[in-house]
Chain A
Amino acid sequence: MLEAIYGASCLAILAVMGLALLRAVLGPSAFDRLMAVNMFGTKTVLLISVFGFLTGRPDFLDIALIYALVNFLGTIAVLRFFEGRKTPACYDEPAEEQKE
Chain B
Amino acid sequence: MEITAIITALCLVLGSLLGITGGIGVYRLPDFFTRLHACGITDSACAFLILSGLMFQTGTSLETVKLLFILIFLLITSPTSTHALAKAALNSGETPLMEQQQTQQKREER
Contacts and interface: CB of A to CB of B under 8 A. Distances in A.
A63 to B, nearest CB: 10
Interface band, chain B: 35 or more
B85 A35 contact: yes
A30 B43 CA distance: 20
Contacts of A31: 32, 85, 88-89, 92, 94
Given A38-B81, A49-B54, A61 B22 contact: no
A53 B88 CA distance: 37
Contacts of B98: none
A23 B26 CA distance: 7
A6 B12 contact: yes
Interface residues of A, number: 48
Contacts of A62: 66
Given A9-B50, A19-B27, A29-B32, A88 B73 contact: no
A61 B66 contact: yes
Given A9-B13, A38-B81, A72-B81, A45 B20 contact: no
A1 B13 contact: no
A83 interface: yes
Interface in A41-70: 42-43, 45-46, 49-50, 53, 58, 61-62, 64-65, 68-69
Q: Which of B46, B80, B88 has the most CB of A within 10 A?
A: B88
A4 B92 CA distance: 46
B78 A76 contact: no
Interface in B47-95: 47, 50-51, 54, 57-58, 62-63, 66-67, 69-70, 73-74, 77-78, 80-82, 84-85, 88-89, 91-94
Contact of A86 (B36, B58, B93): B93
Given A79-B85, A87-B92, A19 B26 contact: yes
B50 A50 contact: yes
